Amino acid sequence: MGRAIDLFVTYRFLKLLTTPFEKTEAFKLGIIDEKGNRVKLPKSTRPAVELATVEQKNAYTILHKLVFNIKKIFAKVPGLRTKVGTYAAALFLLKDTFKESVDDPDMFEKEFMKYLKENNIEFDDEISEEVIGFGEVLPKGEYTLVQDILNKEEEELSAKKGDKVIAYEDEAPVDTVLGIEIFPVIHIKSQEKIYISLEDIKDDS
């Protein structure tokens, strides 16, 4: 049974990853726009479509939200070469969300790498000179995000490039994704916990 669930979730993950936003059920039902963002009422932060019916709820699940946000990151990365760290935190959220539902949470990484290879997208494995520390620990301190980061509780990329985050103590990694260590920090503006790689932040001190 577990293997069957893994195969189903993997299929859904790849299907969503490869389907243009405008061809998804969420778009057809008016839940998202052509860029994958939740459609809002005019001059309001409220969604234009409430998820009231089974059809609407099935078209916009937590899996949809997480994969749609990975696709949004893709849209911001030009060309066929991308940094590993760009996707590590987003894939961690997928693993963390579905770890109780699937036998092999690492399948998201494996299938993502397979997808990149099949689409001739190369990973840039070079470590930026601005990367903090050596991956063993994130030192206590305040940092600035160098790219948008997803909070799985939110529907949008709520932690934006340029926002401040803080580690109240030296933080050990909670996981390693695509060979990149993932750390918890607090997003100062929202006071929410988010997860980042060392390549997602810079030290202004």
Range 142-171 average pLDDT: 83
pTM: 0.77
Whose tokens are 């998202």? That residue is: 32
pLDDT of residue 111: 86
pLDDT of residue 74: 74
Least confident of 19-33, 132-146, 150-164: 150-164
Instruction: Give CA–CA dist 86/104, Å, rounded.
Output: 22
Q: Cβ of 134: how many Cβ atoms within 10 Å? A: 9
Helix then strand then coil, in percent of the chain rounded to 5, is 35, 20, 45
pLDDT of residue 172: 92
Res 153 pLDDT > 60: no
Which residue type sits at 55?
Answer: E
Residue 5 vs residues 15, 19, 36, 115: alpha-carbon distances, Å? 15, 21, 26, 20
111 is written with which tokens? 């299938």
Least confident of 46-55, 77-86, 104-113, 152-161: 77-86
Residue 16 vs residues 12, 60, 193: alpha-carbon distances, Å? 6, 11, 26
Measured in degrees and rounded to the nearest 5, phi and psi for residue 39 equal -75, 130
Measured in degrees and rounded to the nearest 5, phi and psi for residue 139 equal -65, 145
